[in-house]
Amino acid sequence: MNSQNVVIAIDGPAGAGKSTVSKLLAKMLNIRYLDTGAMYRCLAFKAIEAGLTVNDGDEASELLKGLEIQFGTGDPQPVFLNGVEVTADIRSPQVGEYASALSQFSPIRKQMVDRQKKMVADGGVVLEGRDVTTVVAPDATLKVYLTASLEERAKRRLNEFVDSGAATSFLTVRDQILQRDHRDITRDDSPLTVAEGAEVIESAGMSPLQVAEKIVSFLATR
């Protein structure tokens, strides 16, 4: 298996460790990392700036047409929106809420998925996000559904917020994740679900490195 051609798609609920594991995997295999959630976050960031509400799906869909989203290399991976770096700006809880709400709108999802399919067409990429195993890359070399208990995921998200300097509490984060799970699982377009053929990894008690190594071991069987 030549890792330069592989497509590894990592799906799962909020806070399951998708980003940490995906970045680590991309580094281990020396392939690209595509954070599809960052693209929804870029749109959310612009929507907030434009004064839109979370219900303004049509306006946000129009807004998206004029947005150029690019990724650099590094950790954290730099994200550029129309040429301006927004890496830290798109990580706020408010942007996360907007991204989750706006991602419910099919015209937005369609544009995002079209862009993402092009970005993975050449292979050599780890992509992560809420529909990557089911819609963006259903034919990926390896599909992984990464999950953990609500408590565990809330703990991880809280640590990420604390590290980035955002003020919040465990109960607030847990509540947000619960609401996000509900929205992601029950939405009409591309609900969060375990794709056919996906390997399910329950990551409680495992370090990111252990999860990444497990994924590499699955890859060896493809």
CB of 36 to ligand DC, least distance (A): 4
Q: Which is nearer to ligand DC, 93 or 124 (CB)?
A: 93
CB of 2 to ligand DC, least distance (A): 26
Q: Distance between terminal CA atoms of the chain? A: 8
What are the phi and psi torsion angles at 24 (to 5°)?
A: -65, -45
Using DSSP's 3-state secondary structure scheme, residue 81 falls into strand
Candidate ranges 69-77, 80-88, 129-137, 146-154; the one touching ligand DC (CB under 6 A)? 129-137
CB of 97 to ligand DC, least distance (A): 8
- Report if residue 99 touches ligand DC, rule: CB under 6 A: yes
C-alpha dihedral (117, 122, 123, 129), degrees to nearest 10:
-20
- The identity of residue 128, as a single letter, is E
- Report if residue 129 touches ligand DC, rule: CB under 6 A: yes
Q: Are 47 and 98 in contact (CB under 8 A)?
A: yes
- Report if residue 134 touches ligand DC, rule: CB under 6 A: no
Q: How many residues does the chain have?
A: 222
What are the phi and psi torsion angles at 100 (to 5°)?
A: -65, -45
- Report if residue 45 touches ligand DC, rule: CB under 6 A: no
- Report if residue 41 touches ligand DC, rule: CB under 6 A: yes
CB of 38 to ligand DC, least distance (A): 6
Out of 12, 13, 17, 37, point to the residue binding ligand DC (CB under 6 A): 37
CB of 31 to ligand DC, least distance (A): 18
Using DSSP's 3-state secondary structure scheme, residue 31 falls into coil
Q: What is the DSSP string of 157-189?
A: HHHHHHHTT----HHHHHHHHHHHHHHHHH-SS
Out of 22, 100, 133, 147, point to the residue binding ligand DC (CB under 6 A): 100
- Report if residue 103 touches ligand DC, rule: CB under 6 A: yes
- Report if residue 147 touches ligand DC, rule: CB under 6 A: no
Query: What is the C-alpha separation between 74 and 189, in angstroms, rounded?
Result: 32
Count Cα neighbours of 3 within 13 Å in the Cβ-side half-sphere.
Answer: 15
Residue ranges binding ligand DC (CB under 6 A): 14, 36-37, 40-41, 96, 99-100, 103, 129-132, 180, 184
